[in-house]
Amino acid sequence: MGPGLEPEVDYSIARKRMVRDQLSARGIEDKRLLQAFMEVPRHLFLDPATGARAYDDCSFPIGYSQTISQPYIQAMMMQHLQISPKDRILEVGTGSGYQTAILSLLGQEVFSVERIAPLSKNAGEILSRIRTGRIRLKITDGSDGWKFYAPYDKIIVSAAMREKPVTLLEQLGVEGMLIAPVAKEREHLVLYKWVAGELKEQILSRCAFVPLLKGIQ
Ligand code: SAH
């Protein structure tokens, strides 16, 4: 192998450890979810200098003052949504695209919106290089969702909302579920579910996400 032709670094051991020590050990049991985390190369979505640390138990900067969440937080949010292979999923906040890749392996199709154009473009490039399910990306302010493809079975929001996501909840189908960080006073992850036409709301753990912002950048 000549200079500059380095073999692709294999991080599968770091990935296995992440799944075992950070996800399984903390109660993530959904087999398909664990399999997806085993498969998606998280390091490709981060700065190459991050190397194997991409699989560490923490969040990382992804540029433009944004961060990719800690693997456990992402897994826990997705597990709450009980995603089935038939689900059409809306993701608000594509960011690096890592979670988009995982969601696409769990559901039927992912519709992911991001307000920062270079982040969305970069995510699209990486996603096109790896095996994923069906994904549609759009550069837009996702505060009001993506009405064109509604209703969705599941919605996941990766940035903190100031109040109950009323417009997004309207874009859910029958029995639809939404998980979002909501920061009225203190920030909590909240799980919403439509049950027989009635909205159920369950407050989960405390959390700290970047804020949901208006407009595109
Ligand atoms: N899940 C992402 C993490 C994204 S961080 C990942 O795996 O990398 C939250 C993202 O939400 C940021 O990229 C931010 O730009 C985006 N965001 C914030 N407000 C938004 C809005 N109104 N519409 C769409 N995206 C938004």
Cα-based distances in Å from 135 to 47, 48, 100, 105, 176: 22, 24, 8, 10, 19
Give me the pLDDT at residue 7, please: 59
For ligand 1, which residues put their CB under 6 angstroms from it? 62, 66-69, 92-93, 95-96, 98-99, 113-116, 119, 141-143, 158-159, 210, 212-213
Q: Helix, strand or coil for residue 9?
A: coil
C-alpha of residue 116 to centroid of ligand 1, in Å: 8
Strand partners, 66: 63
Q: Catalytic annotation on 205?
A: no
**Which listed residue (69, 120, 143, 158) is catalytic?**
69
Give me the pLDDT at residue 1, please: 44
- What is the pLDDT averaged over residues 93-117? 98
Task: Delineate the domains of the chain, giving CATH numbers in brackets.
Answer: 12-206 (3.40.50.150)
Give me the pLDDT at residue 166, please: 97
- Given the structure tokens 């433009």, which residue do they identify? 64
Measured distance between the N- and C-terminal CA atoms of the chain, rounded to whole angstroms: 42
Residue 29: burial class (beta carbons within 10 Å; 0-12, 13-18, 19+):
exposed
C-alpha of residue 169 to centroid of ligand 1, in Å: 18
Report CA Rg, the chain.
17
Residue pLDDT, tens place only, 1-15: 445 555 567 899 999
Residue with the smallest CA separation from ligand 1 atom 26 is 93
